[in-house]
Amino acid sequence: MSDTPRNPTEVEAAQRVGSIFGCLMVGIVFGVFAALAAWHSGMGGLGILLIYSAVGLVTTILTAAFSAYVVLV
């Protein structure tokens, strides 16, 4: 079986999945950096978790919005 997609729909689906994973990875990386900064400043466990979640979520949403903007424009 060949690795090449058979139709353009498969290519579009693969690009969407790659874009989603890319956005999630950016969010995770920024969340980890924010959590490390919070931990270094002496914050407790729940605060670190909240900062990680908030920064990761916001960064993921912003990256997805930018990605959609680039695709649409």
pLDDT tens-place string over residues 22-73: 888 888 888 888 888 888 888 888 888 888 889 988 988 888 888 877 777 6
52 inside domain: yes
Residue 12: pLDDT over 80? no
Please give the residue range of the domain that contains residue 30.
17-72
Whether 51 is in a domain gets the answer: yes
The answer to the question of residue 42 being in a domain is yes
Confidence at residue 70, expressed as pLDDT on a 0 to 100 scale: 76
Is pTM beyond 0.85? Reply is no
- 45 falls within a domain: yes
Domain count, the chain: 1
63 lies in some domain: yes
Question: Is 24 domain-assigned?
Answer: yes
How open is the CA angle 61-12-22, to the nearest 5 degrees? 35
Instruction: Return the number of other C-beta atoms located less than 10 Å from residue 70's C-beta.
Output: 9
Check pLDDT > 60 for residue 1.
no
6 pLDDT above the threshold of 70? no
